[in-house]
Amino acid sequence: MSGISGSERYLMDILPALKKRNIDASFLVLQNKNSNEKNIDFINELKSKSVPVFVLNSYFLFSPILLCKFLRIIKNNHFNILHTNLIHADLIGAFIKKFFYPRIKILSTKHGYSERFQSKYSFDHTKIKPDIFYSVSKWAALYADRVVCISKSLENFYKNSKIVKPHKLSTIPYGFDFDGHPNVDEKAEFNFGYPQLIVTGRLEPVKQHHLLLEILPALKEKFPSMSVVMVGDGTLSHSLQKLSVELGIDSFVHWVGFQINVHPYISNSDVMIVPSRSEGFGLVILEAWYHAKPVIGFDVPALCDIVETGKDGILVEPFKKDELLNAIIEMLSVDQQIERFGKSGQIKQKELYSLNKMVESTINALSHLINDDAKKSIKTN
């Protein structure tokens, strides 16, 4: 683990909610010791909500010492189910189950695939090659008792690529209530102009921030007082800021870095832009809808599972910058469209993507694992 992104935000919400429903849930952080500062907010947040946290520091992604410590924690605390998130946890969990502790049940949640693959091919399963990531994912999936994907597009990808056997797969979408983040009154420190566009996400190739930056000169001509807020950090931070200077847009593009609480920025913006090549789910969509803000992006997985063009946002053909530009102009130019689309998204978020719905579905998945064991015990007896 190295910082907070979508999967970590999911865990920060679901683990305390499971505790409230009498699930004895703990969390194990696997990290390089140098990442401790990046993870401390996540760890403290879970502890503040009475979720026990174990921390294993290792300079290696996989080692005998790491395995021994991992196994000791499982046995000493009598855990029944290991809920793995992301490839390193999947691999270690599968290794422990196969060689040391076969009775442990594994629930694997898939938040995406290799970021390098997604950056090139989105979720096109026909482009899969038998590389290390593929081989590790497929081997680990053999020992998972159940595999949950956060979107239908992601489930179809794992099924069609034959990484996971179909009978193990199901979909449980993200769900959030954002109870701890009420609407924020308009404040100058979060609002830099009108209209204000916002992009929230890591500054990495798969997010394709450059496609938005390149249409901003034309957009500025149409809306002279507009501003753009970029929330997030990553390996492309320097190059993207340099590009904004080269394009002459740096005066109205505001790079605010990583924010553990993005809600004040979203609440004080008008439209959420998601120029990603692909998203395992797209948590930012729910964050935007919570504040009744419409979403504009490309018609790619899993945005296409969630956003309904003409109702709660606009999705355009990948990766046409002219179409993205026209969609933003249309959204900002038509009277009351921002409010109408935003309200529609807000209703959808509450009805289809609530925290309660996600938690109940997860409890059902956990219960199936325990009940399967009980049925086998009855048959044996």
| Number of domains observed in the structure of the chain | 2
Tens-place pLDDT, residues 90-131: 999 999 999 999 999 999 999 999 999 999 999 999 999 999
Contact, 282 vs 326, CB < 8 A? no
Tokens 């990442």 locate to: 35
Tens-place pLDDT, residues 322-358: 999 999 999 999 989 999 999 999 999 999 999 999 9
* Pair 81, 225 in one domain: no
Contact, 142 vs 95, CB < 8 A? no
Tens-place pLDDT, residues 9-46: 899 999 999 999 999 999 999 998 888 888 999 999 99
CATH number, domain of 319, equals 3.40.50.2000
* Pair 157, 220 in one domain: no
* Pair 303, 327 in one domain: yes
* Pair 220, 92 in one domain: no
* Pair 368, 263 in one domain: no
Cβ neighbourhood burial of 123 (10 Å; 0-12, 13-18, 19+): buried
| Mean pLDDT over the full length of the chain | 92
Q: Which residues pair with 82 in a beta bridge?
A: 106
Tens-place pLDDT, residues 255-296: 999 998 899 999 999 999 999 999 999 999 999 999 999 999
pTM of the predicted model over 0.85: yes
* Close Cβ partners of 295 (under 8 Å, ≥ 6 residues apart): 271, 272, 273, 274, 284, 285, 288, 289, 303, 307, 312, 313, 314, 345
> Which structural domain, as residue segments, surrounds residue 162?
6-177+354-380
* Pair 81, 160 in one domain: yes
Dist CA 300 CA 318 (whole Å): 7
* Pair 375, 295 in one domain: no
pLDDT confidence bin for 375, thresholds 50/70/90: very low
Mean pLDDT to the nearest integer, 227-236: 96
pLDDT confidence bin for 213, thresholds 50/70/90: very high
